[in-house]
Every structure is written in C-alpha cells, then in structure tokens.
Structure 1
C-alpha cells in the first residue's frame, strides 16, 4: 500500500462506514439541540459580559455554516467533494496571503502566485480523485505533489529561497487539500468528526473560562497562543468525548485524533499567523476572522482521523 493511500485510506475503505445521509440523520437532532440551547444562552447574556457581542456573532455564523456543512455531506461523496473543493479554494487563498513567496525579499509577487495556483489546483483535484478515482491515490500522486510544490521555484531558477518556497508549498498541500480530502474518504465519520471538533472548540473556551484563571490548569500550552491553557484542553476533551458518544461514533482512537486536532490545529495556525504578522487569516467570517480561523482544528482532526480510522 502506497504512502498516500496509507495516509488517506485504502480505496473503498469508506464502504464499511455510514453514508453521509445516514450520519447526518443521526447527528442532526444533537446539532439542532446544541444550536438551540446555544442560541438561548447567548441571547440571555447580560450586557456586562465582555464577549456578549462576539459570542452572538459566532453563534450566527455557526447557525448559517452548520446547514451548509451537514447539507453538503448529506449528499455523500459527491457533496463532500464539492464542499472540500470549495473550502480548499478559500483556505489556500488565505494561506497564500499569509505566506511570503520565499525566505528573502528577492522573491517576486509573481513567484508567490505560482505556489498559490499549485495549491488551488490540488484543492480541487484531490477531492475529485477521492470521489471518482480513489484507486489513483497512490505513490504517483505523492510524486506529483512533490514535483508540483517544487516546480515554480525550479522553473524560476530560485536558488536563494527555492527550498523554503517548496517546503511551504508542501506544508500547504498537506495541511489543506490533503486534509480536506478526508471529507470524502471518511464517509459518515467525517460528519461525526466535524461535529465533535465544533463542540470541542466550544468546550475549550468554556474550560478555559471556568478553570483557566489560576493554578496548574491555567498554564499556557505554548507561547504561540498564550490564551490556550490546559484548562481548555480539559474542556475540549470532555466536549469531544461527549459529542462522539452522542452521535454514536465514539472510539478511543477517534477521540484522541479529534482532541489532538482541536489542540494542535489551533496552535499550528497560530504559528503560521505569527510568522506572517497577522491576527486573523481573514476578516469576512463574522466572529472568527477567516475560514482558516474556523477550520484549523478540523484540518488536523481529519488528517489524524484518516490515520486511525481508514
């Protein structure tokens, strides 16, 4: 079995999983209940709560995004492929804006745009392959991704920062298009992972707010994001386990994969943003910033879920 199939799962592996429609039907009551309770909670927040306005904006974004996510996955692999491609195109555009074209100022904007095009093509092609030709996801695709990542620097003769540019492109390919291909290959499990990650982010905020004021749990996980504490990890652990149990998809390995995605995904994006010197990946998504600010945990969780599930 090839390296990429080992990462993405053997062709046909999704056949043993719930279909997208079945999974959406299973999680819909849970998601609807959580959104309803959340709406009541944020509506009842008193004016003195500092994040009252921000929490309401986030709830509205969730209320709009949830039907899009679940509605797309309801249509199975075809809907998942379209959703993955759409998310990928937006995400790679945000990533490209945060990523310099190379390690030196000598790299031109045109060169930086070449890597953006490589990422955009992969964001569309990989989900389509996972839907239409999953058996093609083998070492041939690994070779193509490697060459595609290096090609812009090779053709431009960039001997100053070509390695850095290629490394960034490879990172972007793995982080976004390859990860989002999991929406297709995981079948119904992708629905459970998406729901668990969303609730895990809420649990992290609740845990950090309630328990992260002082003591051992108030210690930050990493200097990359001082507001992310061990209290948040505890809250996320409880929320993700509860979400997977509620939708009937709990297993120890999947829970660990989702929890690791919730914790490490946010730190990973914080690293990218700090290097770029920006606060958010974008400004168009109310309450969150950009799409990458919303799906950073999901991307890592999907990658790890493929490793432990397929």
Structure 2
C-alpha cells in the first residue's frame, strides 16, 4: 500500500474521535452559564481547536507531503516567535527559519539520514553567525539559544514526517486531549491536598492534579485511536508535562506571559504546541513508530 493511502486511512480512523470530542466540547462551552469566569476564554479556545483540528487531520490525508507542509508551516511560525523570545539577531533568525523548512524536508526526502551528520550540521548552523561576526560578548549565548531552538522546534516537528502516520496522528491527538485533561484535573483536584502541589516554580499554577488529569486523558485518547502502548503513553505524557514547563522557562526569562497574541484563547503558536514539540522528541527517542 502507498504511504499516501496509509496516511489517509489513519486520518480517517481518527476523524470520528476528534469530531465527536469537538462536537461534545462545543455543546459544553455553549451551555456554560454567564457566571462562569472562563466562559469567554473557553469559547475562544474551542473555536481555535475547531480550526486547528481539520488542518492537522487534513495534512495527513495527502501523506508525507502533507505532513511536511504541516511541520514546515508550524515551524516557521514557531521559530519566529521563539527568536523574539530569545532576542536573537537577524542572522540566527534566518538560520532558524531556514531550518524550519529544511529539516522536515530532509526527513521527507531522506528519512534514513545519519543522525551524527545531522547533528553536526545543526551545530554548525547554530554557531556560524556568531563565529563569523566574531562576537565575543554575547555570541556564545546566542549560539546556545539558536541550537536549543533548532532541536526544540525544527527537529521535533520533523517527527510529524519521520513517524508513521498512525503514530504521528496519535501523538498530536493525545497531546491535545492531555492539555484539556490537565486543565480539568487541575480545576477539579488541584485546590487542596497533595495533588495541589505545584510541579515547578516555573509555573506555580501547574499542579500534580493536572498531571493526573493529563495521564487519564492521554491514555484515553491513545486507546480511542487504537494506538495505546505503555511506552507511547509514557513518552506523550512526559513530553506534554515537560514541554509546558520548558516554554514557561523560556517565557519567564524573556519576561512575557505568552509567546504571541494572535491565536485566540492561547496567545501564540508556541503556547499551543509546546507540549507537542517535546512529546514528538521523546517518542522518536523511544523509537515508537519509526
């Protein structure tokens, strides 16, 4: 069977799950009474999900080419937001933007590329601007931030192309469900008791109750799309929790609340895909769906 057919089949299988949850969520947020403090915010988030979900599923209907377009498109927007947060110069921004397209393209054209050669190329791309400019005062910091951005965004998003369609879709859906589950768990269980303890000073509002909610939601999502395994579940859950905290760390150092302001209910794209990025990296490290 062709890769296009397999990818389209995977997206078709996931459609009832995503559509059903979106429909139920839409009814729920529409029925929220006016006294609910977050009613307007939740409605904005639902509208963003209603646009993002068809785009995500639709990309896989055309196979690896669609996955490449999705990864490159997300990457270009995300690295632009990251470059602003990290206060990178134009040279480093250009490197990140080029990598946002080139890394997923390489994953599409040559999925078996040697990892050591790829790592060497990324390192060279990260340091070349600062070295050529002879920046002795801030070049090392900018090079490190550029290398971090290269791995965190373009390399992670290449997983949408490198992983088989079933796994890539399952990871994306499970991360989305996990985000909702974390919010529900934190709201329902995170007010008092041991589960109310914050995960990290980086984000005091994220509690162990949220992890419990995320664990249940990711497990349910993976089971619903027929992709549950202990290894995949563990990688997605750990990636979702860690990804959220990683972006909090970046934003705290930058002194901002959100990575952007254009995505209703979320802020910027990085605020929406931070968990997906680390989850994809950990799933690739675990070797699931490769």
- The 5 A counterparts of 1:16-31 are 19-31=6-18
Residues 192 and 247 in structure 1, CA contact (< 8 A), matched pair in contact too: yes
Q: What is the count of residue pairs matched by the alignment?
A: 286
CA drift of 1:154 comes to 0.3
CA drift of 1:166 comes to 1.1
CA drift of 1:32 comes to 0.6
1:89 aligns with 2:76: yes
Say which is worse superposed, 155-164 or 88-97, in terms of deviation: 155-164
Partner of 1:105: none
- The 5 A counterparts of 1:259-274 are 259-274=237-252
CA drift of 1:164 comes to 1.1
- The 5 A counterparts of 1:171-210 are 171-188=148-165, 189-210=167-188
CA drift of 1:137 comes to 4.4
- The 5 A counterparts of 1:1-310 are 19-101=6-88, 112-188=89-165, 189-308=167-286, 309=288, 310=290
Partner of 1:12: none
**What TM-score do the two structures reach when normalised by structure 2?**
0.96
CA distance in structure 2 between the aligned counterparts of 1:160 and 1:204, rounded to whole angstroms: 41
CA drift of 1:140 comes to 2.1
In structure 2, stretches of 5+ residues that fail to align are: none
CA drift of 1:258 comes to 0.5
Say which is worse superposed, 140-149 or 240-249, in terms of deviation: 140-149
**RMSD across aligned positions (CA):** 1.5
CA distance in structure 2 between the aligned counterparts of 1:137 and 1:22, rounded to whole angstroms: 30
Aligned to 2:260, the other structure's residue is in SS state coil
Residues 77 and 187 in structure 1, CA contact (< 8 A), matched pair in contact too: no
CA drift of 1:19 comes to 2.9
Aligned to 2:232, the other structure's residue is in SS state helix
Aligned to 1:134, the other structure's residue is in SS state coil
CA drift of 1:306 comes to 1.0
Residues 280 and 290 in structure 1, CA contact (< 8 A), matched pair in contact too: yes
CA distance in structure 1 between the aligned counterparts of 2:105 and 2:116, rounded to whole angstroms: 17
Residues 129 and 137 in structure 1, CA contact (< 8 A), matched pair in contact too: no
In structure 1, stretches of 5+ residues that fail to align are: 1-14, 102-111
Residues 23 and 192 in structure 1, CA contact (< 8 A), matched pair in contact too: no
CA distance in structure 2 between the aligned counterparts of 1:137 and 1:180, rounded to whole angstroms: 18
CA distance in structure 2 between the aligned counterparts of 1:40 and 1:205, rounded to whole angstroms: 18
Partner of 1:7: none
Aligned to 2:87, the other structure's residue is in SS state coil
Q: Which has the higher contact order (CA 8 A, sep 6+)?
A: 1
CA drift of 1:142 comes to 1.5
Say which is worse superposed, 148-157 or 129-138, in terms of deviation: 129-138
Residue deviations 1:84-136, cap 9 Å, x none?
001000000000011123xxxxxxxxxx1111110111110111111112233
